Amino acid sequence: MNFVLIGPMGAGKSSVARVLSKRLGWEILDTDRWVCLEQKCEVTEIFAKHGEKFFRERESAALEASAGWQELIISTGGGIVLAEKNRELLKKIGFVVWLTASEEVLYERVMRNQRRPLLHTANPRDTLHEIVHSREGFYKTCARLKLDTSSNSESEIADEILKNANFP
Ligand code: S3P
The pLDDT value given to residue 94: 96
Q: What is the mean pLDDT of residues 83-93?
A: 97
Ligand 1 site-directed mutation target among 35, 53, 116, 134, most atoms within 8 Å of CB: 116
Residue nearest to atom 8 of ligand 1 (CA): 77
Between 167 and 139, the more confident residue is: 139
Indicate if the pLDDT at residue 154 is higher than 90. yes
- Assess whether the C-beta atom of 101 lies below 6 angstroms from ligand 1: no
Share of the chain above pLDDT 90, in %: 98
Cα distances (Å, whole numbers) of residue 127 to 76, 95, 112, 121, 146: 20, 29, 16, 7, 23
Nearest CA to ligand 1 atom 10: 116
pLDDT band at 168 (very low <50, low <70, confident <90, very high): confident
pLDDT beyond 90 at 99: yes
pLDDT bin (cut points 50, 70, 90) of residue 167 is confident
4, 5, 9, 100: residue to mutate for ligand 1 pocket, most atoms within 8 A of CB: 9
CA of 68 to the centre of ligand 1 (A): 24
**Across 22-30, average pLDDT:** 98
pLDDT tens-digit map of 45-68: 999 999 999 999 999 999 999 988
146 CA distance to ligand 1 centroid (A)?
18
Q: What pLDDT score was predicted for residue 52? A: 98
Per-residue pLDDT at 12 exceeds 80: yes
Q: Whose CA is nearest to atom 12 of ligand 1?
A: 78
Distance 168 CA to ligand 1 centre (A): 31
Average pLDDT, the chain: 97
pLDDT confidence bin for 143, thresholds 50/70/90? very high
- The percentage of the chain sitting over the pLDDT mark of 70, rounded to a whole number, equals 100
Q: Which ligand 1 atom is at minimum distance from the Cα of 82? A: 11
Residue 28: pLDDT band (50, 70, 90) is very high
Answer yes or no: is pLDDT of 79 > 90. Answer: yes
